[in-house]
Amino acid sequence: MDEREYILAIIAGGRNVGKSTFTFQQTELIGRRTIVVNKGELSPRFDNWQKVTVEQLKTFKGDNVVVQIDIDQVNEVCETIMHYKKGSSVVFEDAKRYIPQSIGKGGLNDLISDLRKCSCDVFFQYHCLKHVPPFIADMYNMLVLFKTTDYFTKSDLKKFANTETIIKCGERIKRHKDPHYCETIFVHE
């Protein structure tokens, strides 16, 4: 097991700004199996990916897979990843649809609390920062910010540790003419 810092990323941006493109460029650079967790409609990007249930994920042997879940299967899919698919890149696409605003013990909490234990890099995709649950805002180490509908004020972003940096980046991104422009912010900035 390597000793690098594992990624717990928030990728935030409106529709069609490049969140998935960016995320999958990152997972390709990491070079490990990519597991996409999704509830609902899938992007055409995944037309050629194997689709499995949480139960089927346990024995899946390929590199890239989409796990379609119901809202009550978040903890179950996280436990399956931790026990059967260590060393994966995990993407929670359109996470607002199924990631709760608070969590208890087990499952999701265990997965993101100790990334080194399961050797996973985790990416949460949201359409705006206001939808990011406080427990994720408190634990991330990388934020990729595209154009969003967020108001970049201290009161709106108080759940994030580096509010001032996010406000400055958010304002720059809003003014930028390129609709796909983004900036990466690390929690230590």
**Strand-pair category, 183-186 with 142-145:** antiparallel
Is residue 1 included in any domain, yes or no? no
Residue 102, number of CB atoms within 10 A of its CB: 8
User: pTM (2 decimals)?
Assistant: 0.94
Our count of domains for the chain comes to 1
Report CA dihedral (29, 98, 132, 84) to the nearest 10 degrees: -40
Is residue 114 included in any domain, yes or no? yes
Tens of pLDDT, residue by residue, the chain (189 residues) = 456 789 999 999 999 999 999 999 999 999 999 999 999 887 788 888 999 999 999 999 998 999 999 989 999 999 999 999 999 999 999 999 999 988 878 899 999 988 988 999 999 999 999 999 999 999 999 999 999 999 998 988 999 988 999 999 999 999 999 999 999 999 875
CATH number, domain of 140, equals 3.40.50.300
Is residue 2 included in any domain, yes or no? no
Q: 107-124: b or e for each residue (b if 16 or more CB lie within 10 Å)?
A: bbbbbbeebeebbbbbbb
Residue 17 is classified by DSSP as S
Residue 143, number of CB atoms within 10 A of its CB: 23
Query: What is the structure's pLDDT at 1?
Result: 43
The answer to whether the beta carbons of residues 56 and 63 sit under 8 Å apart is no
Query: What is the structure's pLDDT at 26?
Result: 95
Q: Which residues span the domain enclosing 30?
A: 8-186
Task: Name, in order, each residue with C-beta under 8 angstroms of 37's C-beta and a sequence gap of 6 or more.
Answer: 67, 69, 74, 77, 90, 91, 92, 93, 98
Is residue 104 included in any domain, yes or no? yes
Alpha-helix residue ranges (DSSP H) falling in 89-133:
107-113, 115-118
Query: What is the structure's pLDDT at 2?
Result: 53
The answer to whether the beta carbons of residues 113 and 141 sit under 8 Å apart is no
